[in-house]
Amino acid sequence: MLDTRFIYEPMLSPLPGTKEGDLRSFGGRTMKYPIWVSSMTGGTELANKINKRLSKICGQYGLAMGLGSCRQLLDSDEYLNDFTVRNLMPDQPLFANLGIAQVEELLKNNETHKIDALLSKLEADGLIIHVNPLQEWLQPEGDKIYVAPIDTIKSLLAIAKYPIIVKEVGQGFGKESMKALLSLPLEAVDFAANGGTNFSKIELSRSEKLKKEVYMQVSNLGHDAKSMVQWANEIISEGAEVKAKQLIISGGIKNFLDGFYHIHLANIESSYAMASGFLKYAMESEEELDQFVQLQLKGYDMAQAMLRINK
């Protein structure tokens, strides 16, 4: 089956790999490719191994990384070593991660200094806030969210001295939410669209039979990355105020072709991110992950040289 997303142009560039790739900057750090490793918590046993493997490839190949939820580091240093990866990626963007419910609580208790301390001990460049109300709603013991997430983010932006990225966790955002986010001075808006890992589905699979049956369709709620790029483009063309610096397109991005397609479809500076795609190989071995990443980057170079987007 032909991949009609692309136009193949073999006449216009030298063979990829024969000239240096572009360097780009994100929040003052350098990236060799517009690719992020999305935030992933691995549980206490896996976090150390996975974080170190993933950050090593970020350092080696010039990619950016979001750490998995750092909630447990807010009040204790017991697991700090598992998240300490700056030495492995000294020049690349590295962001810590907290959920919207924790940020809401820290604001309420006047404890946002704990976020400053967290970033400082991780030597992180900024904070990713994950907004996951549907997942929390499905969890029997889910966190309560008392304030509209957009207001919590505005409150933090008003006092934060570090860059902030906002993401979902696998459902994406509707157009109004995206417009509200894009109007804020965020370092990036990360889609975490529906199409890949879906935490509502994971929550439901853990639920009892009746709940599963009644809420089965809830995990189908949300938006895919392509619709979200199209909304972002509409929001820009409608002349709305856009203060967010860029998009991170993620959620169901399986490889360099998906990533290349979406970032070139967007009319705003963008990079792409994968979670489960990297995790699969990170769980295998350092060598598997390294080979996977090399093939992805070589593929990206090929796309850049020979492909144009069929808009």
Chain contacts with ligand FMN (rule: CB under 6 A)? 38-41, 68-69, 97, 130, 167, 169-170, 192, 196-197, 250-253, 274-277, 279
What kind and span of H or E run contains 97? strand 94-99
Q: Which residues of 116-139 are buried (b: 16+ CB within 10 A; e: fewer)?
A: eebbebbebbbbbbbbbbbbbebe
Nearest CA among 216, 219, 233, 310 for reference residue 269: 233
CA distance 279 to 235: 33
Identity of the residue, 130 or 262, whose beta carbon is nearer to ligand FMN in the bound complex: 130
For residue 311, what are the contacts with CB-CB under 8 A and spacing of at least 6? 265
Tokens of 79: 């697991």
Identity of the residue, 280 or 308, whose beta carbon is nearer to ligand FMN in the bound complex: 280
Identity of the residue, 41 or 230, whose beta carbon is nearer to ligand FMN in the bound complex: 41
Nearest distance in Å: CB 68, ligand FMN? 4
Residue nearest to ligand FMN (CB): 196
Nearest distance in Å: CB 187, ligand FMN? 15
Identity of the residue, 16 or 42, whose beta carbon is nearer to ligand FMN in the bound complex: 42
Identity of the residue, 39 or 92, whose beta carbon is nearer to ligand FMN in the bound complex: 39
Q: What is the DSSP letter of 144?
A: P
Residue 94's DSSP bridge partners are 65
Coil, helix or strand at residue 173: coil
Identity of the residue, 16 or 71, whose beta carbon is nearer to ligand FMN in the bound complex: 71
Nearest distance in Å: CB 237, ligand FMN? 27
Nearest distance in Å: CB 192, ligand FMN? 3
> Quick one: how far is CA 278 from the chain centroid?
12
Identity of the residue, 149 or 251, whose beta carbon is nearer to ligand FMN in the bound complex: 251
Identity of the residue, 17 or 121, whose beta carbon is nearer to ligand FMN in the bound complex: 121
**How many CA atoms lie less than 13 Å away from 93 in the CB half-sphere?**
34
Q: Distances from the Cα of 255 to the Cαs of 74, 298, 303, in angstroms? A: 34, 11, 11
Residue 164's DSSP bridge partners are 127
> Quick one: how far is CA 3 from the chain centroid?
26
Nearest distance in Å: CB 38, ligand FMN? 3
Nearest distance in Å: CB 243, ligand FMN? 22
CB 81 within 8 A of CB 49: no
In one-letter notation, the amino acid at residue 291 is Q
